[in-house]
Structure 1
C-alpha cells in the first residue's frame, strides 16, 4: 500500500494528464491517495421498487426494461431533451434526460436497468428526471457516490478506483497487527478497502467503515503522542522552591480560585521529578496570563530561563508589556523577539539570551527560528496553542533539554477534543471570570435596523465609550462585501460623522497595526473598523460595544472570540450581530451565541455544527485531514483507539517493533503535510 502512495495518479489506466490534474484537485495525487478517497455516500440498489409502489419525491431504485430507443428533442436555450419509457410488466415509467446524448447509445430497448432517482407523478404518468441507470444483470447491490469536481463525475472516479484496487498486492500487508485486529474484531485492510468502495452488501460496508475509522483514529493518536514527545525521563529542571506567595503579593488584584487551582496543579508538576506538560484552558478574560506569569516567576527565581510564544506580534508585545510591568521590579530581565525586529537588535538579543542575560523571552514563532538558543531554558509557555500546532510547540521545547511545558488556549475546546489534540498534556480549566466582570449581552439583528444600531453606537461614544466594528473582508475583489476602508468612509460621511474612526486589517504592517491599537487603547479612536485581526489583541477595557457585519460568515467559536474583545472592564457591554442570513443553520448559530456566554457550551455546539476538521479554521493549525473518522459521531471507536494507542506507545514509543512498522508508515503518511 505504501508504494501506491508513490505511484502518480497519471500512471493509472484511464487517467491521462488532464484528468490527473482533476484528481489532484480532489486530493488524490497518487494511486494510494485515490484508494483513501472514500465515497461520501452510497446508492443502495439492493431492493429496487416496482414502478407503481416507488415512494414519490424520494430518491430510490426502480427496476424496469426500456421500451423504445430514446428520442431527441431540441428546445429553447440550446438545450436537448432525450426521452424514453421503461416498463416493469405492470406499470410504465417516463424517463427524461437533459443534454445527455450518451443515453442514445447506453439505453437499449428490451434490456432491463436499475434507474436511481426521484419518482414524480401526476394523474397520467410516473416519471424520473435524469436518473442514474445501470444494467440490471451486472449492477452491484451498493454503488459509491464520490465527492466530484467539474469534469470528473462520480462514475469516472469509481472506474479509476476499480483500476486502483486491481493494483493492491496479494497478499496485502496490514498495518494493524493480527492480534490487535482479533481483539477489536476488525476486518483486514484488503477487505476494508474493497468494501468501502464497492461493498458486497450493507453489512460488509459497516464492517469496512468500522475498520477504517478505528485505524484512522489509532494512527492520529499515535502521531500526536510521538510528536508531543512525552517521555517519563526525569526532569533536569525540578523546582526547589515554590515562590507563588511572593508572586501573589505583586498582583494588584486578588486571583480567582480557578487561577489559584491552576497554579497549584502546575507547581506540583514543576516540583515533581518529571517535566510538566499541562494545558491551561480558559474562556476569554479568565486570567491565563496571570497563571503563566506566576509559573515564569517561580521558574526564574529557581535559576531557569522561560519563553512565552504568542501567535501575533500585537499579542506578543502586549504580553511583554504586561509581564515587564509585573516582573521587572523583582529583577527579572525580559526580552521581546519578533520577526520585525531589526537584524542588529536580533543579534544583540540572541547573544544576551545565550549568555543567560535574559530571564524571560517573549515573542512570536521567531522564537523557534535557527540561531535562537537559551542557556538554561526550563519553562516553555505557548499562548493560543491552536494557532501553532503540536510540531511548533515541540520545536520550542527542543530549544531546551526537556523543559516544563505550559500550553494556554483562550479558544474553549470540548473536553473530548482537547484530550485528543492534547493527549500528551494534563488539563487545567479556568472556569470562572475575575470579580467585577459584567456579562456581555448579545443581539442578532437584520440589516434594516442598522440606523438604530448606529444611533446606539453614537450614544455610547457620547458617554466616552468605544466601539469595534468587524468587517469580514479586507478588499472587495471577487466579493460583494464592503472593505474595511470603504466601510469606514461611509461611517464618516453618513452614519457616524462626529466620531473619530480608525481602521485595522491584516495587510497593514505590524508597526502600523500596533500604532492603531495604541491609539485605540489611549482613547484617541472612538470606533475601530477592523477585520478579525482584533480577535487576539490589545485589551481595551473602555471598549464596550462590538458590531459584527455579516456575522453568519463566522464560526461560533470565532464569534465568541471576537466578542471577548469587549467586556474587559467593569462596565456592561453589548455585542450586535448583523446578518441577512435566512438559512436555518446560520440562524441557529447566532441564536446560540445570543443565549449563552459560556465558551465551552459554545464550543460544543460549534463542534456539532462544523465538525472537528473545520473547528480550528485553517487545517494546518488543527488536526491532520481525516478521511473517514468523525469525532462527533464515532466516539466509541475514538475511545477504543485512544486506549490502544496509549498501550502501544507505552510499549514501543518509536513504533520500531516489526509488528508496528506498518503503523509507523501510516503515521508518517497522515502527518507528512502537517508537521512541516
Structure 2
C-alpha cells in the first residue's frame, strides 16, 4: 500500500466520507495515519465505588432489576429510568427522550453500561449511558479525534485500522539514535498513538513521534541553511542615492536600534551572496519602516520586491503604509490577495511576469505557482512564525538569487530562536521609538470582570474605542471558556447596551472581515469583539482599551502581542486581563504581564513556565507544520533532536546521506514532518 495514495481509494470511502475527510485536511493515506487523536478517554472497568471519579467515563457490569414507568417533565421531556444492580449497589440509569431504550434490556440480564457515574448516598446514578461496550474486557484508552458533521470517531478508527493491517512502516531514524533513547519503533509508535494498549506505551509513542517530528524539522532547517550558505550567487545591490532623501522625508528619526538593523540589512544587500535574515522586534518597535527602506533600495536597482503578510487585513494595512511613505519617489505598489478580483489579479501577475520594478504586497496568494517573478530582488515575510520553513523554501525558490528578510513581533528567547531559525542571521530591534504610550495592565479575577468593563465604558464616553478578545468563536461547555458570541450577547444586553459593537473572527470571509475592520478604524464601531485574528499588526490609534477574556488560555507572548494593539495613539491606554486564577502558575503569569512590558523578558518567562500556554498562541502546532510537538513545551526534545540532526547532516557516512535524501524526498510529497518512507 502506497502511503501517498489518495484516501478516497480506500474501501468504504464514498463521496460523503471523502468530503468529510478532505474537510479535515485528510487527502492521502499518510494524512490519515498522521491525523492523531486530539485527546484520549480513559475508560476504567468495574472499579470499586470509592475509586469512581465523577468526571471520568467508566464501564460497569450492571444487572437489570427493575423498569420504572416513563415520566413526562414540565419541559415535555420523557425520562426513562431503569434500576440496575452493581456489586450489591443500586444503579439508577436515566435516559432523556429515548423511551424505546427499555426494549433493549431484559430483567436479570447483565450489561456493560458506559457513562459518568455520580454517587447518590450509597447508590449510583448515570445519565444516558451507552450499552456499547460488550467487547470491553479491561481498562481501555479511547482516542478522540477532531471531527466535523460527517466525520466520526468510528469512521476514522475503522479506516486507520484497515490501513495499519496492510502496511508496515519501516524504521527511518539511524539505529544508533533509536538505541540511544531506547525508542520504540516508528511502526509501533504510529499504531500505539491511535490504539494505545496502556498509558505507559502511549507516552513512549508520543515521545518517539515528537522526536521524529523535531528531528526531521531540524534536518530540513539545517539542509536549507547549507543550501543558502552554499555557492548560491546573489544580486549585489548598489546603495541608492535616494535613500538619504527618503530618510530625510520621514516624519521621525530612526532609533539607534533601527539604524543598526538597517545597516546590517544594507550590508547584506551589497553582498553577492543572498541575504537570509530574521528581524525580531517588539510590538511597536518599527519593523515595517525598516522593511520599506530595504525594498526601496531594491526597487531603485531595477528589481522587484515582495512583502507577504499572514492576513488580508495586515496586507491592506502594509499596502497603504508603503504608498504613504514612498509617495513622491516614483515607486509603484500593487496589492495581491485572495480577494483581488480576476481581471485585476491577471493584470498584476502580468506585470510581475514582465519584470516591472514594483513592490507587490500580499498574502499566501504570492507563493502560488502561477505567480512568476522575472526580476525578483527581495522577499519579505511579516510574522514569520505564521508561515514556517515550507513557505520560506517556496519563497526562496521563486528566485534563488533574491534576498530574503523575515520579520516577527513575537520576541523569541535566544535559546529557542537558535533552534527554530538556525538557517537565518538574526537582527534584533531592542528599543521602542520615543513617544510610544505606556500601557497600564490590570488583572481581574472572573468575578470582578465588571470592573474592567466599567473602565472600558468610561473610555468609550471619552470617544475612545475598545478591543475585546476571546479564545473561541462559539461557547464551549466543556472548557467553560468565554466565546466571542457569548460575550457579545452578554454586553449588548448589559454593561454596554446601546454602544455600537461588532464581532470579528477567522471563519468570516475576507471581504466581511475587511468591512468590519474599516468600520472600526473610522470609529463607526466602538467595541470590537474578536478572536486572536486581530493579534497581528492591526493599527487603530483611537483604540485605548484591550480586554482579554480567559487570559489564562493564552501564552504570555501572545498576551503581549494583543496588548500591543492599543497605545498606538496619543491617548492613555489600558490592557485588562480577565482570568480564572485557580492556581499559583496562573497568578504568576498574570503578575509578569502587569509588571513588565519587555517582550523579550516575557518570552523568557513563558519559556521557563512552559505549561502555561504556547509561545505563539492558543494552539500553534499547525502554523509551523507541527502536528504533535510544541516548540516551548518540548524544548528539551527539540534540543536533543537538533543536536542529533546536526551530526547526521554534517557527517558523510552512506547511511546518513541516505537518511537526509529520504527526508528531502518525503518532504516534497507532504508538509508533515513525522512519517516518511
Query: Same fold judged by TM-score > 0.5?
Result: yes
The aligned counterpart of 1:188 is 185
The separation in 2 between residues aligned to 1:296 and 1:260, in whole angstroms, is 16
Answering whether residue 199 of structure 2 is matched by residue 208 of structure 1, we say: no
Instruction: Quote the RMSD (CA, aligned, Å).
Output: 5.8
CA positional deviation for 1:284: 1.7
The aligned counterpart of 2:333 is 335
The separation in 1 between residues aligned to 2:303 and 2:265, in whole angstroms, is 16
SS in 1 for 2:187: helix
SS in 1 for 2:210: helix
Contact 1:383–1:409, Cα closer than 8 Å, also in 2: yes
Contact 2:141–2:197, Cα closer than 8 Å, also in 1: no
Contact 1:93–1:125, Cα closer than 8 Å, also in 2: yes
Answering whether residue 69 of structure 2 is matched by residue 71 of structure 1, we say: no
Moved more, 375-384 or 315-324: 315-324
SS in 1 for 2:183: coil
Deviations 1:436-493 (A, max 9, x none): 32311134565645884366225633xxxx4345587999999455499x969997x9
5+ long unaligned stretches in structure 2: 72-77, 96-100, 476-482
The separation in 1 between residues aligned to 2:106 and 2:264, in whole angstroms, is 73
Deviations 1:420-447 (A, max 9, x none): 6545323323232112323111345656
Alignment of 1:251-650 (within 5 A): 251-300=250-299, 304-312=303-311, 315-316=314-315, 318-324=317-323, 326-327=325-326, 331=329, 333-339=331-337, 358=357, 360-365=359-364, 367-368=366-367, 373-413=372-412, 418=417, 422-443=421-442, 448-449=450-451, 452-453=454-455, 456-457=458-459, 460-461=462-463, 466-470=464-468, 479-480=485-486, 482=488, 494=498, 516=519, 519=522, 527=526, 535=535, 539-541=539-541, 543=542, 545-546=544-545, 548=547, 555=554, 560-569=560-569, 571-576=571-576, 584=582, 593-600=593-600, 605=606, 608-611=611-614, 615=618, 622-624=623-625, 626=627, 628-649=628-649
Residues 391 and 225 (structure 1 numbering): CA distance in 2 closer, same or farther, change over 3 Å? same
TM-score (norm 2): 0.70
TM-score (norm 1): 0.70
The separation in 1 between residues aligned to 2:20 and 2:343, in whole angstroms, is 48
How many correspondences in the alignment? 632
2:175 pairs with 163, 178, 186, which one?
A: 178
5+ long unaligned stretches in structure 1: 87-91
CA positional deviation for 1:406: 0.5
The separation in 2 between residues aligned to 1:213 and 1:102, in whole angstroms, is 48
Contact 1:304–1:377, Cα closer than 8 Å, also in 2: yes
Residues 511 and 650 (structure 1 numbering): CA distance in 2 closer, same or farther, change over 3 Å? same
Residues 328 and 226 (structure 1 numbering): CA distance in 2 closer, same or farther, change over 3 Å? farther
Answering whether residue 249 of structure 2 is matched by residue 232 of structure 1, we say: no
Residues 373 and 314 (structure 1 numbering): CA distance in 2 closer, same or farther, change over 3 Å? same
SS in 1 for 2:144: coil
The separation in 2 between residues aligned to 1:568 and 1:478, in whole angstroms, is 24
Contact 2:218–2:641, Cα closer than 8 Å, also in 1: yes
**Based on CA coordinates, which of the two structures has the bigger radius of gyration?**
1
Deviations 1:112-169 (A, max 9, x none): x9999879596x6799997999999x956x6322116799998997787666544344
The aligned counterpart of 1:217 is 214
The separation in 1 between residues aligned to 2:503 and 2:144, in whole angstroms, is 41
Residues 595 and 163 (structure 1 numbering): CA distance in 2 closer, same or farther, change over 3 Å? same
The separation in 1 between residues aligned to 2:581 and 2:289, in whole angstroms, is 42
CA positional deviation for 1:214: 1.4
The separation in 2 between residues aligned to 1:78 and 1:195, in whole angstroms, is 40
The separation in 1 between residues aligned to 2:89 and 2:208, in whole angstroms, is 41
Residues 372 and 132 (structure 1 numbering): CA distance in 2 closer, same or farther, change over 3 Å? closer
Contact 2:466–2:527, Cα closer than 8 Å, also in 1: yes
Residues 640 and 245 (structure 1 numbering): CA distance in 2 closer, same or farther, change over 3 Å? farther
Answering whether residue 137 of structure 2 is matched by residue 143 of structure 1, we say: no
